[in-house]
Chains A and B, each alone.
Chain A
Amino acid sequence: MVASLAEWVSMGEHGVYVWSAWGITALFMLGLTLHARLERRQLLKHLKRVARRQASPPQQRGHDDDPKA
């Protein structure tokens, strides 16, 4: 067990090593989790946009698809 917070943070001179190793690990795991969430959200948004565009009648899409425009 630890006596004080400062002592715990310093980890008996090994604080830098312990915290940097744990920090990188936490960073990667959080990053991967957030990336998975973001990936899913953006994918859903993108797919919905595509679905809406395909559902709408062609004349509304206007000259976007006209090769001569």
Chain B
Amino acid sequence: MPPSETTERVAVLAEPTSRRLGVAFGATLVRDLNRVRRRRGDVLNPLVFYALTVSLFPIGISPEAELLAVMAPGLLWVTALLATLLSLDGLFRSDFDDGSLEQMMLSPQPLAALSVAKVAAHWLVTGLPLALMAPLLGIMLALPFQSVGVLMASLALGSASLSLIGGIGAALTVDLPRGGVLLSLLVLPLYIPVLIFGTGAVQAAIQGDTALPHLAMLGALLAAALIFAPWAIAASLRISING
């Protein structure tokens, strides 16, 4: 990473508190999005993983459309969950390595708010593309057409919670040499409620029921994650940085 950007970012954060929280939040978000533009692999890898893994299931189980249609909601959701997990390790890693996280911690803005900005950037480059790509894979799995909209909505809503919860695990393991496996052990059990309501929404849509209650539960989970996760992420980052 060129040093100019880091110094520019530090300059924003070091300014007096007259500059509001919003500026710091926006700057963090834009910076993370910019970095992704330069390293496209970070966005593409989870998507390729998603497509590849989903296409393994018909090969491994059966190409029969009826069977696939039954399993499609679960397959699409579980695989999206794993794809998110794959991308989590990089959430704080480079900022930890180049010291930007320490600068964030020293800034007058609360670390919790800045980490939400980073998580939001993560969701924009992984969760949202996964949700946009899901219909394509849904068609390949013979997912009934009427549930495609619900599939996208549930994935978009649910992956935001996944990014927030995963952020806790990523923050806890960022200082560990081989944190990847541990990260999945920490995060996957916490993902289960999101998985249940996400697949529930799609299954309800397939059966012709209203998916609204499930989506509302996903929204409630997101609200709860938004309340608790930022503090947990900030506390975890402090532990990892202060050693």
Give yes or no for direct A-B contact (beta carbon below 8 Å).
Answer: no
